[in-house]
Amino acid sequence: MILIGNGVSPGIAVGKIHIHGKFHIEPEKGFCAGGEERSQILHYETVKQLAIDELEKIRLNIEKLDSEKAGIFKAHQDIADDIVINEEIHNKILKEHWNAEWAVYKVYDTFLQMVRNAPDPLIAQRASDFEDVCNRILRIMLGIKDDMLSKINEPVIIAACDLLPSDTASMDKVKILAILTETGGATSHSAIIAKSYGIPAVLGINGLMETVKQGQLVTVNAIDGTVNTEPDNTYIKEHILKRDTFLSSKELTEAFRNREGRTKDNVKIDIDINITSAAKQELDAEKYVDSVGLFRTEFLYMGRDTLPSEKEQLNHYKKVLECFKNRPVVLRTVDIGGDKVLSSLDLPKEENPFMGNRAIRFCFNYPDIFKTQIRAALRASVYGNLWLMLPMISSLEDIRKAKDFINSVREELKNEGKPFGEIKTGIIIEIPSIALIVNQAVKEVDFASIGTNDLCQYLCAADRMNSAVETYYQSYHPAMFTVINNVIKTFNKAGKPISVCGEMASDPLVTPVLIGFGIRKLSMGAAAVPVIKRALSDFTVKQAEQIAKKVLKFSTASEVEKYLTRQIAPALI
């Protein structure tokens, strides 16, 4: 029987199923006797701190390997110490005389349901965070032994309804051949951790737990998202061969990480890194990339109760700039809104947040927050080569208003006698309106980067977080290539830097198309760096131009994908 899901972390595996039951604690409804309320609150506070300390140990261990995964457990600490949740638990104990276990369970369950029912799928997926924190506190309260996946002692394929963040973080990646779940998507914690560990993963498999049995031999193809639960010997041998071929190819690809990005005819292509912080692991990528093509500064604002101060931001930016010395660091001004919310600011709910008060619009509406960031960025610019990039620009008025704002902050710093350096100012081209007047926009800025994720979302009128319309979100849509080609040609003609920083930059099938259009600068996540460097080495600029010219003639996304798969994919195996 073939099961189908979403392949979120590529790879192939053959092995036995290990069914991982969902760890869930539901205490009996209980009350405390009169006069015991304070002792119950003290009991809760003591256990809560033990949970926070436990999370800190996990976070510090993971920080050494992956700052993104470590950030998950920092978020868990924030949930455990959330003011509103804590006040509600105290109230339930004091006013309704619930005991600590029942108060924790019921209050967390209320918040969990609120998050799970959120209209934004990305927010709804955070329900697992609340469940994980609740289970941790209750487990410590009730003295239940922590039975984690770290105790698996032989190579297995994990099958679960869902995996909590603490499950995946504790896994020994050597023992986990693959991960299969009934729920979860490309942005879930299971997907994030599977990718970072290089574990093949297929998520969102309907009927998985009803079909597989403990110890059952299965084959997993996380490239096409399939699981064969009844493979015969011939099928198993074929998959073992495919697995070995995939692993050999992966090893060959990794060898490209420390090389320069160059085409087959030795044309240099800048390979830049996307970062979210000044964490050591992110800055370690400095050794094998040309510069920072996208510093997503909004992550300095998220998962905390207060806004980052000017000094705090200055220190973060300074650290990155000093690391990259004279190489450009493209700092994107805070892109709050859409799928990114602040716990430190009570923003009104929007029906369509992706097209609402986000990014540069948020900055214009909250000028004090914007000013603090610009002051920090300008002051940090003396330590390196800082480029300031403005997101969600839809008009020339947006560009001019932002530039005027930056100039006013520059004058303010000058009057205060605070040093600042010269910076380049650019925009992300992600809204069709600015892409269509790119011949005018290019005159207003020093550089630009094409944000293909949102450009596709707005061009195709398909919310990229809404699975109901995922077939309409077509990154290979001919309109995408037409718009991208025009933007690149316009900036190249003006002699101004142009790059791509969205998902397309990390798609090896699209690499020759972008080079053929004239791109010489790509920015991506660390995992994609060796993949794209290897892809570049397989074609000349002339071949890329021929491929790009051909792509512009197709009329559907499926035609483009079939052509690129046939033309490019064999070289990547």
The active-site residue, picked from 323, 363, 460, 501, is: 501
| Residue whose structure tokens are 């574990």 | 199
Beta bridge partners of 12: 221
Which pair of tokens denotes residue 29? 């409804």
Tokens (6 digits) for 200: 């093949």
Cα separation, 355 vs 210, in Å, equals 40
Token output for 21: 């039951």
Structure tokens at 80: 């455990």
Question: Which sign does the torsion angle of CA 198, 202, 203, 207 carry?
Answer: negative
For 342-364, letters b (16+ CB in 10 Å) and e give bbeeebeeeeebbbebbbbbbbe
Q: CA dist 329 to 95, 332, 388, 391, 413, Å?
A: 54, 10, 8, 16, 21
DSSP assignment of 171-193 equals: --TTTEEEEEESS--TTSHHHHH
φ, ψ of residue 64 to 5 degrees: the values are -65, -25
Beta strand 447-450 with 217-221 is unpaired
Q: How far apart are CA 144 and CA 101, in angstroms?
A: 13
Asked if residue 329 lies in contact with residue 386, where contact means CB atoms within 8 angstroms, the answer is: yes
Q: Could you confirm whether 501 is annotated as catalytic?
A: yes
Selected catalytic residue, list 189, 239, 316, 477? 189
Alpha carbons 61 and 18: distance in angstroms, whole number: 26
Q: Is 134 known to be catalytic?
A: no
Which residues fall within 8 angstroms of residue 517, CB to CB, at 6 or more apart? 481, 484, 485, 488, 489, 548
- Residue 507: closest CA among 453, 546, 545: 453
What 3-state class would DSSP assign to 242? helix
HSE-CB for 110 with a 13 A CA cutoff = 10
Q: What is the dihedral of CA 496, 289, 330, 281, to 10 degrees?
A: 170
Tokens of 133: 């924190």
Tokens 């002339």 locate to 542
Secondary structure (DSSP) of 471-502? GG--TT-HHHHHHHHHHHHHHHHHT--EEE-S
- Do the Cβ atoms of 434 and 393 come closer than 8 Å? yes
| 84 contacts 27 by C-beta, under 8 angstroms | no
Strands 2-4 and 226-228 turn out to be antiparallel
| Inter-helix orientation angle 541-551/557-572, to 10° | 160
Contact 328, 422 (CB under 8 A): no
Tokens describing residue 510: 């699209």
Burial class of 64 by CB neighbour count within 10 A (0 to 12, 13 to 18, 19+):
exposed
220 contacts 200 by C-beta, under 8 angstroms: yes
**Where in the sequence numbering do the catalytic residues fall?**
189, 501
